[in-house]
């Protein structure tokens, strides 16, 4: 049950993380906060419905998504600084 819940929460975690990163992008803070709150609502309802058993899969999904995002960003930045993509994508 918790593995299935974890797999269901992965896309929701990406959706929530995108809303959180939208705060860093600028723009209207109130609209961004409303959008983030609306994205958190399904997760809160799911956690309320499933009880405390949903906390660990939810936290695991959020940490997994944040870790993958951080590693991908750091790896891409590292590769660009060292010129690993130079000449591979030129037309």
pLDDT in tens, 15-62: 888 888 888 887 788 888 898 899 888 888 888 888 888 888 888 999
Cβ atoms 36, 19 nearer than 8 A: yes
pLDDT of residue 88: 66
- Structural domain includes residue 90: no
User: Would you say residue 47 lies in a domain?
Assistant: yes
Least Cα distance to 43 among 55, 31, 33, 29 occurs for 55
User: Looking at the domain assignment, is residue 69 inside a domain?
Assistant: yes
Give the C-alpha separation, 53 to 55, whole Å: 6
Q: How confident is the model over 70-88, as pLDDT tens digits?
A: 999 999 999 888 888 777 6
Domain total for the chain?
Answer: 1
Domain range spanning residue 45?
Answer: 2-81
Question: Is residue 88 domain-resident?
Answer: no
Structural domain includes residue 89: no
Q: Is residue 45 part of a domain?
A: yes
Q: What's CA 21's distance to the chain center, in Å? A: 9
In a domain, 91, yes or no: no
pTM: 0.75
């Amino acid at each position: 049950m918790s593995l299935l819940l974890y797999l269901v929460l992965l896309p929701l975690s990406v959706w929530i993380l995108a809303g959180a990163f939208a705060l860093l992008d600028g723009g209207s803070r109130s609209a961004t906060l409303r959008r983030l709150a609306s994205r958190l609502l399904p997760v809160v309802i799911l956690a309320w419905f499933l009880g405390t058993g949903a906390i660990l899969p939810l936290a695991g999904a959020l940490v997994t998504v944040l870790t993958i995002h951080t590693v991908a960003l750091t790896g891409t930045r590292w590769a660009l600084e060292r010129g690993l993509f130079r000449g591979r994508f030129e037309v």
